[in-house]
Amino acid sequence: MQTPEVALVITPEAAVEVKKFMEAEGVTPEQGGLRVAVMPGGCSGFKYSLVIEDKSAEDDLMLDQDGFKVFVDPFSSQYLQGTVIDYVTSMQGSGFTFKNPNSTGGCGCGSSFSA
Protein backbone atom coordinates (compact mmCIF):
# COMPACT_ATOMS: atom_id res chain seq x y z
CA MET A 1 0.00 0.00 0.00
CA GLN A 2 1.23 3.48 -0.87
CA THR A 3 0.78 6.86 0.73
CA PRO A 4 -2.16 8.83 -0.66
CA GLU A 5 -1.51 10.75 -3.84
CA VAL A 6 -5.15 11.23 -4.75
CA ALA A 7 -7.33 14.05 -3.49
CA LEU A 8 -10.70 12.41 -2.96
CA VAL A 9 -13.44 13.74 -0.66
CA ILE A 10 -16.30 11.74 0.79
CA THR A 11 -19.03 13.94 2.25
CA PRO A 12 -20.41 13.22 5.74
CA GLU A 13 -23.69 12.02 4.15
CA ALA A 14 -21.84 9.55 1.94
CA ALA A 15 -19.67 8.40 4.86
CA VAL A 16 -22.79 7.48 6.87
CA GLU A 17 -24.02 5.30 4.00
CA VAL A 18 -20.61 3.68 3.46
CA LYS A 19 -20.48 2.73 7.15
CA LYS A 20 -23.97 1.18 6.87
CA PHE A 21 -22.85 -0.90 3.87
CA MET A 22 -19.67 -1.97 5.67
CA GLU A 23 -21.70 -3.08 8.69
CA ALA A 24 -24.15 -4.98 6.46
CA GLU A 25 -21.19 -6.74 4.76
CA GLY A 26 -19.61 -7.58 8.13
CA VAL A 27 -16.46 -5.58 7.33
CA THR A 28 -14.92 -3.62 10.19
CA PRO A 29 -13.01 -0.35 9.61
CA GLU A 30 -9.88 -1.99 11.02
CA GLN A 31 -10.19 -4.88 8.59
CA GLY A 32 -11.29 -3.40 5.27
CA GLY A 33 -12.80 -0.41 3.54
CA LEU A 34 -14.36 1.13 0.47
CA ARG A 35 -12.81 0.62 -2.95
CA VAL A 36 -13.41 3.57 -5.28
CA ALA A 37 -12.52 2.75 -8.87
CA VAL A 38 -12.86 4.06 -12.40
CA MET A 39 -13.40 1.34 -14.96
CA PRO A 40 -13.65 1.34 -18.74
CA GLY A 41 -17.29 1.10 -19.74
CA GLY A 42 -20.57 2.89 -20.02
CA CYS A 43 -21.69 4.92 -23.01
CA SER A 44 -19.23 7.77 -22.30
CA GLY A 45 -16.08 5.69 -21.81
CA PHE A 46 -15.67 5.32 -18.02
CA LYS A 47 -17.85 4.35 -15.09
CA TYR A 48 -17.44 4.51 -11.33
CA SER A 49 -17.35 1.52 -9.03
CA LEU A 50 -17.87 1.48 -5.26
CA VAL A 51 -17.25 -1.85 -3.52
CA ILE A 52 -16.81 -2.81 0.13
CA GLU A 53 -13.68 -4.96 0.40
CA ASP A 54 -12.15 -6.78 3.34
CA LYS A 55 -8.57 -5.87 2.40
CA SER A 56 -6.56 -3.67 0.06
CA ALA A 57 -4.44 -4.70 -2.90
CA GLU A 58 -0.66 -4.33 -2.67
CA ASP A 59 -0.43 -1.35 -5.04
CA ASP A 60 -3.47 0.54 -3.69
CA LEU A 61 -3.36 4.10 -2.48
CA MET A 62 -5.11 4.28 0.88
CA LEU A 63 -6.91 7.22 2.44
CA ASP A 64 -8.56 7.50 5.84
CA GLN A 65 -11.99 9.12 5.64
CA ASP A 66 -14.37 9.54 8.57
CA GLY A 67 -13.19 6.43 10.40
CA PHE A 68 -12.86 4.03 7.48
CA LYS A 69 -10.30 3.30 4.77
CA VAL A 70 -10.68 4.14 1.09
CA PHE A 71 -8.73 2.04 -1.43
CA VAL A 72 -7.86 3.47 -4.86
CA ASP A 73 -5.86 1.64 -7.51
CA PRO A 74 -3.16 3.56 -9.44
CA PHE A 75 -5.16 3.58 -12.72
CA SER A 76 -8.23 5.09 -11.06
CA SER A 77 -6.28 7.67 -9.07
CA GLN A 78 -5.48 9.70 -12.20
CA TYR A 79 -9.21 10.12 -12.92
CA LEU A 80 -10.35 10.70 -9.33
CA GLN A 81 -8.18 13.72 -8.42
CA GLY A 82 -10.43 16.31 -6.77
CA THR A 83 -13.57 14.16 -6.95
CA VAL A 84 -16.27 14.64 -4.31
CA ILE A 85 -18.45 11.62 -3.53
CA ASP A 86 -21.80 12.50 -1.99
CA TYR A 87 -24.99 10.64 -1.08
CA VAL A 88 -28.15 12.37 -2.24
CA THR A 89 -31.80 11.63 -1.52
CA SER A 90 -34.41 13.13 -3.83
CA MET A 91 -37.85 12.35 -5.24
CA GLN A 92 -36.15 10.33 -7.98
CA GLY A 93 -34.45 8.11 -5.42
CA SER A 94 -31.23 8.04 -3.45
CA GLY A 95 -27.68 7.12 -4.26
CA PHE A 96 -24.06 8.11 -4.49
CA THR A 97 -23.11 11.00 -6.76
CA PHE A 98 -19.70 11.98 -8.12
CA LYS A 99 -18.57 15.55 -8.74
CA ASN A 100 -15.43 15.02 -10.81
CA PRO A 101 -13.47 18.02 -12.11
CA ASN A 102 -11.67 15.71 -14.57
CA SER A 103 -14.87 14.76 -16.36
CA THR A 104 -15.25 16.34 -19.78
CA GLY A 105 -18.72 14.95 -20.42
CA GLY A 106 -21.29 12.41 -19.36
CA CYS A 107 -24.13 10.33 -20.65
CA GLY A 108 -27.83 11.01 -20.42
CA CYS A 109 -28.40 8.37 -17.76
CA GLY A 110 -25.63 9.80 -15.57
CA SER A 111 -23.83 6.52 -14.93
CA SER A 112 -20.72 7.10 -17.03
CA PHE A 113 -18.35 9.91 -17.95
CA SER A 114 -15.56 10.88 -20.32
CA ALA A 115 -12.20 12.35 -19.37
Q: pLDDT tens digit string along 46-100?
A: 888 999 999 999 999 999 988 999 999 999 998 899 999 999 998 888 999 888 8
Evaluate whether residue 110 is within a structural domain.
no
pLDDT reported for residue 34 = 97
Evaluate whether residue 32 is within a structural domain.
yes
Indicate if the pLDDT at residue 114 is higher than 70.
no
Indicate if the pLDDT at residue 2 is higher than 60.
no
Range of the domain at 76: 8-103
E runs forming strands in the chain: 8-10, 33-40, 46-53, 61-65, 68-72, 83-90, 93-99, 105-106, 112-114
Q: Which of 37-46, 59-68, 99-108 has the lowest mean pLDDT?
A: 99-108
CATH of the domain at 81: 2.60.300.12
